[in-house]
Amino acid sequence: MDVNTIELIPDEVNLMRRLLPLSGAKVIDLGCGNAEIPRRLLKDGLVASVTGLEVDYVQHTQNLTATPVAGLDFVFAGAADIPFDANSFDIAMMLKSLHHVPLEHLDRALAEIGRVLAPGGLLYVSEPVFAGEFNEILRLFNDEEVVRKAAYDALGRAISTGLMDVVTEERFDTPLAFHDFDEFFQRVVRATHRDHTQVGDQLVEVKQRFELHATPQGVRFVRPMRVNVLRKRG
């Protein structure tokens, strides 16, 4: 995989517009979270439809009760068991979600994505790189080194087995800004709606490390990211 020049990209939708044939596309977003990007893609008229899959029941419920967006549907399901027919979608997206797939299900998930993509359809995978100052704070309570490597290795196997072909790999930096630690806690620590009491003893150190980056304008980081775009054969 070739790695292109790193650039600062505040808005990943701009990168998607550059890398993906969005116009008229039927999209599936696997691990959609609060579906911020699918909502934007639809409101801006960039795609025809988005189906968001989510396995966090609390988040899924919030998605169902949020203000509807035309063309956006939600399904409670995971990437390893996608409840749609073969060749149903033009583009599959995984935005910081591939490394959340259980390790034993990664290959099955990519095979499922290959199944539901139309021939020539694209898989867009955006993942944080395990590096940088923000990552050093996160790993104090949520060390994802193993799962992120496993996710990247699974993409490699999807390529080597002939399931997908490489379109591109790109690295970029994205800015992150927080007003204070309370905002960081709500947006990051509590992001999955799960019990985070395990942070417990680490929370004091997390806060201390976080506040080392405080400025009069808030707390700012630059997070390294990697995007892989793969194409289903045919």
Give the range of the structural domain holding residue 18, as residue numbers without chain letter. 7-177+223-232
φ, ψ (nearest 5 deg) of residue 116: -85, -15
Which contiguous run of DSSP H or E holds residue 152?
helix 145-160
Give the model confidence (pLDDT) of 106-133 as tens digits.
Answer: 999 999 999 999 999 999 999 999 999 9
Q: Is residue 209 part of a domain?
A: no
Q: Is residue 189 part of a domain?
A: no
Q: Structural domain tally of the chain?
A: 1
3-state secondary structure of 208: helix
Q: Is residue 213 part of a domain?
A: no
User: Over 50: is that where the pLDDT of 197 sits?
Assistant: no
Q: Is residue 203 part of a domain?
A: no
Confidence (pTM): 0.92
- For residue 108, what is the domain's CATH number? 3.40.50.150
Which residues have a Cβ under 8 Å from the Cβ of 1 and sit 6 or more positions away? Answer: 166, 169, 228
Q: Is 168 exposed, middle or buried (0-12, 13-18, 19+ CB in 10 A)?
A: middle
- pLDDT mean over 210-216: 93
Q: Is residue 196 part of a domain?
A: no
How much of the chain, in percent, has pLDDT values that exceed 90?
87
Bridge partner residues of 175 (DSSP): 222
Residue 50 and residue 163: Cα distance in Å, rounded? Answer: 23
Place of tokens 């966090």: 56
Give the model confidence (pLDDT) of 61-105 as tens digits.
Answer: 999 999 999 999 999 999 999 999 999 999 999 999 999 999 999
Q: Is residue 214 part of a domain?
A: no
Q: Is residue 61 part of a domain?
A: yes
Place of tokens 């959340």: 100
Residue 60 and residue 47: Cα distance in Å, rounded? Answer: 22
Considering only residues 62 and 200, tell me which one the structure prediction assigns the higher pLDDT: 62
Residue 126 and residue 109: Cα distance in Å, rounded? Answer: 16
Task: Write out the two tokens for 184.
Answer: 């960081």
